[in-house]
Amino acid sequence: MRAGNTPIRRVLVLCAGLAVAAAQVAAAGLPIKPLAAGLSYENFSRTVVWKGDEASSKIQAGLISARAEFGLAKGIVVGVHAGLSLTDFKDVSFTALPISLQYDGSPLKGFALGVDIDAPLHKFSDFEIGATARFVYSIGMSKTWPLEGFAVEGEARGSSNWLEAAVGPRLSYLFFGRVVPYLEICARWLRADFEMSETLEDLSGAEKKLVRGDLQLSFALGADAAVTDRIVIEAKAGILPYTGGVNGLVSLGVLYKF
């Protein structure tokens, strides 16, 4: 029971941290104005090399979240989102277990919390340059699989967590008014772990795969479109080049403005 409650405790701790940060901002005298709320979806892939491995592997994550945006002074917009994460792993082998395993299961579920900040810096003609940053933490729920093909019963249990942080400049084109396209370049840092345990009668063991800090650049095109005075669509698609290939990212949000 204690292990099962760990992700929930972590979520509560993070929520409490966000609440404390918001209270500190308010105490500092900075006005906080609710701007919009709605739903968002995003998906990204990362090619990584787990610590101790030689071959590369791919992590693909999808997030379905409830999202809220708040305005601060000087045009700064803070977004907060929370929801479900689905993380898939390709070509991950666990060779330190009593019986070696190759992961080929369905995506692992988890809880995701995130914060992003967009800050305008300078406006010239129809262009505006700003800075963007984001922080997302996915806390995985454990999943079990039966070990088949043996004379005795056995099971494997896996769980994963990951953390992504990104920061970079954004160039927006303001000419169209209700539709604001932009170009965004970000340095994206990823930390991930994937732990697998195994029990087969008297045999048991565990192995944890780690990515301590993978760094990639992303190049993305996006747009914020005011469909009506109340409905806003936020969309973005981009690439993350790496030696030997390209990863991708895409996001879509529908928000209601207050």
Residues 98/51, Cβ–Cβ less than 8 Å: no
What mean pLDDT do residues 16-36 have? 60
For 90-100, the pLDDT digits (tens) are 888 898 888 88
Which range in 2-16, 107-121, 140-154 is most confidently predicted, on average pLDDT? Answer: 107-121
For 211-251, the pLDDT digits (tens) are 988 999 999 999 999 999 999 999 999 999 998 899 999 99
What pLDDT does 245 receive?
93
What pLDDT does 99 receive?
87
Structure tokens at 235: 């969309």
pLDDT value at 70 more than 50: yes
pLDDT value at 38 more than 90: yes
pLDDT value at 8 more than 70: no
What mean pLDDT do residues 55-79 have? 93
Q: What percent of the chain stands above pLDDT 90?
A: 67
The model carries a pTM of 0.85
Domains present along the chain, CATH in parentheses: 33-257 (2.40.128.130)
pLDDT value at 136 more than 70: yes
> What is the Cα–Cα distance from 59 to 36, expressed in whole angstroms?
31
| pLDDT bucket at 2, cuts 50 / 70 / 90 | very low
